[in-house]
Amino acid sequence: MRFEFLFLGKTKEPYLAAGIADYAKRLARYVATDIKTLKEKKIKKGESENVLIEKEGEILLQGGQGSYLVCLDRSGKQMDSLELAAQVGDWEMQGRKKITFIIGGHLGLSAAALAKADLVLSLSAMTFTHEMTRLLLLEQLYRACTIKAGEKYHK
């Protein structure tokens, strides 16, 4: 199984980029991991934020074609760490080859992108920046893998 992460734009905050790199390296011990940074769109003069969200959604969906698609959104399903570990185990049992995680840009994801998701996942009812969400997602997936492996990290 492979985890693919689609991010819009580079992570600008160095401390977050360092954390993302650290957890990606840790996670790679358990599952093949691929982070793809896609070019983010800018709002053109006279264009609405909704148009931008739709364009970004199209870019992200193109990148995730052919895989099990998990979109992150605060309206999604919340799981505790044990439930996420069980979900990862379920994906393995189902023979999923690639799980693609999509985090929208600073405006979130379009309704069209969320509708195409196999799972809409929420890390919290609170709102986080899209850059923080990257780090939190990687850490939680690492935690899920250590739970599955019976390791002490989770304690």
DSSP letters of 6-71?
EEES---SHHHHHHHHHHHHHHTTTSEEEEEEEPPP-PPTT--HHHHHHHHHHHHHHHTTTSEEEE
Superfamily of domain 2-154: SPOUT methyltransferase, trefoil knot domain (3.40.1280.10)
Angle subtended by helix axes 130-148 and 81-93, to nearest 10: 70
Split at pLDDT 50, 70, 90, the class of 3 is very high
Query: How many C-beta neighbours within 10 Å does residue 146 have?
Result: 20
Provide the residue count of the chain.
155
pLDDT tens track for 108-153: 899 999 999 999 999 999 989 999 999 999 999 999 999 999 998 8
| Reported pTM | 0.93
Ranges of each domain in the chain = 2-154
> Which residues on neighbouring strands pair with residue 98, listed in sequence order?
2
